[in-house]
Structure 1
Amino acid sequence: MVDPAQVGDVSAGTPVDPGRPAVFLLPGQGSQHVRMAAGLYGRHEDFSAAMDMVFALIGKDGAAVRADWLSATPRVPIEHVIRSQILLFAVDYAIGVQLRAWGVRPAALLGHSVGEIAGAVLAGVFELRDAVHLMWDRICRLAKAPPGGMAAVAATPDQVLPFLEDGVVIGAVNAPRQVVLSGPAAGLDTVTARLRAAGFTLRPVAASTAFHSPMLREVAEQAVPVIARMTARAPKTTLMSGYTAAPLTAEQVTDARFWASHPVAPVRFWPALERLLREVPQCVLIEVGPGQWLSTLARRHPAVLAGRCLVRPSLPARPAGDEADLECFERLGAGLARPVRW
């Protein structure tokens, strides 16, 4: 959840040093776009098989989700929760599967919002079947939630707090001066108008649901029994939570309320990234999903600015067509041709 207009193209990055550990960054709401990563479908076997498996596990609605993903004019808009969330999960997961097929074994994973569920599957916490069930159940519940919205603000949390009212809250802390507000549409309009009048720069986030706000508390509570029936295992790979800003423990991953709380809890991406880069220094941060907004955020970190860590995206910063998707992804693959330590 970031301002897409502030995202630059960082695909022509420094070649990967094979002596550095790899870290996967998995994006969430705000990075979705029509036909995201579709250029890889049918061109990379493991990616394609992973996407098809997700569609199959959705059940009777899977074919419609697949058709909308591959369409330039989807029947259901990509910003709608029943498309954005499941497709972001699927693309993040499928790109991770393809990277593993290339021999990339990450030392750690950090997902933003729905990216954390994809990361949990790649880290071995959930079986794919259970994760898709969790996601589809959540999405169907969220689709019935009251309408809301989100907006990115170039400000610190302390700067925006005095302006918050009418149910609007800080839904994410993405960087030292980049927060995302979330709440009911009318309240968000009021708050953002006051912030603009005070001189702050804002951009809307592509979402018609107020993710990471109290508006979704009832939805979160309803999901607890569903998640409690799932099997969760200790992560096989370090899974840095974007909610706790710490590695998830074996005890935490078995807590159904933790996973159910994600639509309500604020995302703390920057604190999580700071801890991750302390624990996995001199790494290669690979954005495993559409867009380059996590890459852009990561490039603001002192460890990246100083050259101690490298950043590599999987896909173009903005929608540019199938061939651009393929070119960017294969450029990443060429840079990872030599073994990456984990």
Structure 2
Amino acid sequence: MTRPAKAVAPLDVRREVALVFPGQGAQQPRMGADLYRVEPTFTAVMDEFFAAGGAEGRRLRADWLAEQPVPDFDDCCRAQPLLFAVGAALAFAVIARGLRPTVLVGHSVGELAAAAVAGVFSIAEGSRVMAARTAAMAATEPGGMLAVAAGVGRIREVLGADLAEQGIAVAAINSPYQTVLSGATAELRSAERALTAEVVACRPVKARQAFHSPLCAGAAARFGELLGRIELRPPAITIRSTCTARDVTAAESVTPEFWSAQLSRPVLFWPAMDDLLRSGSRLFLEAGPKGSCAAVLRLHPAVQSRTHVVLPLLPAASRADARAVFDESVGAALAMTA
């Protein structure tokens, strides 16, 4: 059974709660399914999301609960709606248990889950938002993403200063030593070969589109038009945007283009978190599978110095006991925030 890392920070420090929502690449078959029909709030949120999606929602639910993953599970049309729903359901479940987050942070599509939890739109409306996002991406040129164990500076040393000239975009800055590149398939494979030849470790991300690159500019515009049909409201909980690396303003939160622009802009995860980690004493709960965001956060000096604590709400392994991990992390969180 996989269990969350034991908290080493003093328990007599009262901590604010921050929820972190992962994005594409974190998806796993049956992620969080052990909580379904067991954790009431989690179940209600998932059911609301699937019901709002009609026939497509029923297909998503079947794919999510399937014992064997469907062939297109990693495509954005399956992975991202499910990441959105599972992340939001986990967040509302911990809130129902008595935890009150003061800030929400989402990586890529995770930022839309944060928006739903903050009340910018409802879960049912979120089903429409995710359908609109998927529809907008449908006509996008096939591509991919590449996780690189190096900073942007080192990548430019290997590939050249002008990455755009080679059809490559910096899609995400996850840490000073972890960058995600994005681009068309051929260009991305060429970059992977060049980086590997220089002993720079890299691996493909589980994505079939070149998110957060200029290839998604048209999709971002289409998504903005579709998003304009949904009423957007100012957030009731602070959202730290990984698109701008600062808090979302009330004016931005009700502007469709603000949320749609992230499709073609880089994810500034480390810059957004670095500023947040430089103040206060927080407990970061990752509302999603795999623990990819938690792993990055644990590299930060403020976490290593025990100023902040990071815990996952789901296990890293898809077949591990999700209920045990969720219960243990929530129990630890309640003790640290009492």
Q: How does 1:150-161 map to 2 (within 5 A)?
A: 150-161=145-156
Which secondary structure does the structure 2 equivalent of 1:35 belong to? coil
Q: C-alpha distance in 1, partners of 2:61/2:28?
A: 14
Question: What is the deviation of 1:208?
Answer: 0.8
Q: Secondary structure at the match of 1:87?
A: helix
- Write the distance in 1 (CA, Å) between the matches of 2:302 and 2:264: 31
Superposition TM-score, scaled by structure 2 size:
0.93
Equivalent of 1:332 in 309, 329, 333: 329
1:13, distance to aligned residue in structure 2 (A): 2.0
Find out whether 1:217 has 2:212 as its counterpart: no
**Alpha-carbon shift at residue 228 of structure 1 (Å):** 2.0
User: Counterparts in 2 of 1:1-342, with a 5 A limit?
Assistant: 11-14=4-7, 17=11, 19-162=14-157, 163=159, 164=163, 165-279=165-279, 281-321=280-320, 324-338=321-335, 340=337
Distance 1:209 1:335 in 2: 38
Closer, same or farther: CA 55–295 of 1 in aligned 2, 3 Å = same
- Evaluate the alpha carbon distance shift between residue 175 and residue 267 of structure 1 in structure 2; reply closer, same or farther with a 3 A threshold: same
CA distance in 1 between counterparts of 2:298 and 2:8 reads 15
The amino acid across from 2:236 in the alignment is K
Amino acid at match of 2:281: Q
Paired letter, 1:78: F
Q: Please tell me whether the aligned partners of residues 23 and 106 of structure 1 are also in contact (alpha carbons under 8 angstroms).
A: yes
Gaps of 5+ in 2: none
Equivalenced residues, count = 330
More moved, 161-170 vs 79-88: 161-170
Q: Which moved more, 1:107-116 or 1:165-174?
A: 165-174
Identity of aligned pairs, percent? 37
Native 8 Å contact 1:239 1:247 kept in 2: yes
Q: Is the 8 A contact 1:68 1:76 kept in 2?
A: no
In 2, Cα distance between equivalents of 1:219 and 1:225:
10
| Deviation of 1:14 (Å) | 1.0
Q: Deviations over 1:8-50 (max 9, x none)?
A: x771321784711111011111110111111111111110111
When structure 1 is superposed on structure 2, of 251-260 and 240-249 the one drifting more is 251-260
- Aligned residues: CA RMSD: 1.7
Q: For the residues of structure 1 that align with 2:123 and 2:63, how far apart are their CA atoms?
A: 21
- Alignment partners' CA distance in 2, 1:334 and 1:237: 22
User: Aligned-pair distance for 1:129?
Assistant: 2.6
Helix, strand or coil at the partner of 2:147: strand
